[in-house]
Amino acid sequence: MFDKLKRLLAQAGADYADLRYETKHEVKIAFTGKELSQSAISTTDGFVLRVLADGGFSSLAFTREADAESALRIALENARLIAAHQDTPVRLASVPAVQDEYRPQLAEDPRDVNFEEKIALTRRYNEIALAHPAVVNTSMAYAETIRDRYFVSTEGAQVREELVTVGIRGMITSRDGGLLQNIRVNLGGSSGFAVLRNRDHDIELKRSTCVDLLKAQPVAAGIYNVILNNSMAGVFAHEAFGHFSEADLIEDNPTMRQKMHIGARLGNPILSITDDPTRVGPLGHYRFDDEGVPAAAVPLLRQGELVGRLHSRRTAAAFSETVNGHCVAEDYRYEPIIRMGTIYIEPGADTVDDLFQRLGDGLYILDAKGGQTSGENFTFGAQYGYLIHGGEKADLIRDINLAGNLYQTMESITAVANDFHLSETGGCGKGQMNIRSCHGGPHILVEQVIIGGI
C-alpha cells in the first residue's frame, strides 16, 4: 500500500503534499427496550489528499483510486486559488519524516470475537438494566470501530497505525407515575474487547441509581460549595478549558489570544491540566496523528499558569510554538483538525475523604449529562448528586445543572484529590465527531458554584 500511495503522491507537483488512505470497519448492535433494533457490519475506505502550493493549503477527500489524478489536479488548483486570495501564506512547522508502523496491544482483539457473542453480551446487559419493574425503557448499543490508517508525504513520512475502539453505551429510564429519570451507561475503551466483559455489576449499579432517583428530591437552586467526581472534573477540563487550548479555536480571536497567552495565570496554583494521547490503554491513545506527527504529552496548565496548547503543523508555525501531534480526523472523509486526545486534571495531594471534610456542607455532584459552552461561560448537567452535611453523604438529589465562568471557576478550585480516573467512552463534536476523545482526573472541590434547580 505504501508504494501505491507514494506513486500517486509523486505526481503532486506542489511545495508539499500528503496522502492518507484508510479502511474503516464498523460493527453496530442496538437494543431498544427488549427489541434488537440494529445489527450491522460494514467496511469502507477512502483517501484524503492535502496540498500546499504557493502558500495556499487545500484538502480533498475521494473514495476511488481511479480518481487520484483528478483529485491531485483539483487540490493543486484550489491551493493556488486560496493563495491568491489570502493575506498570509500558510507555513507548516518542520517535523521529522517518520517511518513507522504501530498496532496497539489489545486485551482480546474484537475481530476475534464472533458477531453472535457481541449480540449476546449486549442483550445480557440490556436485560440486566430492564430487570426492575420501575425501569420502563432502555437503549443499549455496542459499537466497534477499527481504522487502519496509512499516511505518506512528499517529505518522506510513511506511517501506518490501527485505531481500535469498542464500547457499550446506553440509557436506562425509570418511571413513577409522571416522573421519568434516566442514567447513562458508558463502557469501553481502546484496550480491547476484554474491557466489556464481566461488567454485570456496573449495569446493576446504574439500574439501582436510576430507580433510586425516583425518590430523590430536585436540588434547590442556589450557590454551593461542591465536590465534582472524576467524570464531572474531566468534562470541565475538556469543555470549559480544553477547547481554548486548541490553537485553531483562538487564533482569529484577539481577545481569547490575549487571555490565553503562554504564561497567563488562569487558575488556582493547585490546578494543573495535561493532554496526553501517549498514555497506553485509555480511550484517547494514539501514537501518530493524521498529519503523521508523533503524539506528545502536552502540559497545558501548570500550577494555574498556561504553559502549552494543542497544535497542527500549520498552527504551530503560525504561533511559533512546538508541534505536538494533535491534528486528528474522524475518518477518511475528513481532513484532520486540532483535537484533544486524553485531557485530564492532574491528581493533587489530598484524599477524597479530605475533600469531604473540607467541604463540610454542600453538594457532591456525579457523572456528566450533557452541557454547552458559550465563549468563556459554561453550563453542564449532572446525572445525580448528594447533599453533604458535616462531610457525610445525605439525601440523593436530581435535576442538577452547573453554570459558571471558566476563569472564575478555575480560581475557585480549592482542593484536588489524589485519586484518578479516565472516561471509558468519549466523544467530541467539534467540526467532526471524535469518538476517541477522552477526559478525566481526580475529585475536585469548587467553591461558590451556581446550581440551577427548583
Q: Which of 198, 215, 232 is the last residue of a domain?
A: 215
Q: Are residues 222 and 209 in the same domain?
A: no
Q: Are residues 211 and 222 in the same domain?
A: no
**pLDDT of 266:** 96
**pLDDT of 174:** 98
Q: Are residues 417 and 319 in the same domain?
A: yes
Give residue-wise pLDDT tens across range 10-66: 999 999 999 999 999 999 999 999 999 999 999 999 999 999 999 999 999 999 999
437 Cβ contact partners less than 8 Å away, ≥ 6 residues apart: 238, 283, 284, 339, 340, 341, 426, 427, 428
Domain count, the chain: 2
**pLDDT of 61:** 98
- The single-letter DSSP state of residue 219 is P
Q: Are residues 128 and 155 in the same domain?
A: yes
Q: Which of 183, 215, 247 is the last residue of a domain?
A: 215
Q: Are residues 208 and 341 in the same domain?
A: no
Q: Are residues 147 and 227 in the same domain?
A: no
CA atoms within 13 A on the CB side of 245: 30
Give residue-wise pLDDT tens across range 258-274: 999 999 999 999 999 99
Give residue-wise pLDDT tens across range 172-215: 999 999 999 999 999 999 999 999 999 999 999 999 999 999 99
Q: Are residues 266 and 411 in the same domain?
A: yes
173 Cβ contact partners less than 8 Å away, ≥ 6 residues apart: 135, 136, 137, 138, 180, 181, 182, 210
Q: Are residues 150 and 162 in the same domain?
A: yes
Q: What is the CATH number of the domain that holds 114?
A: 3.30.2290.10
Q: Are residues 198 and 244 in the same domain?
A: no
Low-confidence ranges of the chain (pLDDT < 70): 454
Grid coordinates standing for 333? 472523509
35 Cβ contact partners less than 8 Å away, ≥ 6 residues apart: none
- Domain enclosing residue 81, as ranges: 2-215
CA separation for the pair 133, 174 (Å, rounded): 9
What does pTM read for this prediction? 0.97
Q: Are residues 298 and 428 in the same domain?
A: yes
**157-170 as b/e, with b when 16 or more CB fall inside 10 Å?**
bbbbbbbbbbbbbb
Report the candidate in 381, 380, 377, 375 with the shortest Cα–Cα distance to residue 405. 377
Q: Are residues 248 and 191 in the same domain?
A: no
* 258-266 CB contacts, 8 Å cutoff, 24+ apart: 259/376, 259/407, 260/306, 260/309, 261/306, 262/306, 262/307, 262/308, 262/309, 262/321, 263/305, 263/306, 263/307, 264/305, 264/306, 265/304, 265/305, 265/306, 266/301, 266/304, 266/305, 266/306, 266/407, 266/410
**pLDDT of 426:** 87
Q: Which amino acid is at 155?
A: E
What distances in angstroms separate CA 26 from CA 126, 219, 288, 346, one per listed residue?
A: 21, 41, 21, 34
CA–centroid distance for 262 within its chain: 24
Q: Are residues 188 and 228 in the same domain?
A: no
Q: Which amino acid is at 128?
A: I
Q: Which of 189, 215, 241 is the last residue of a domain?
A: 215
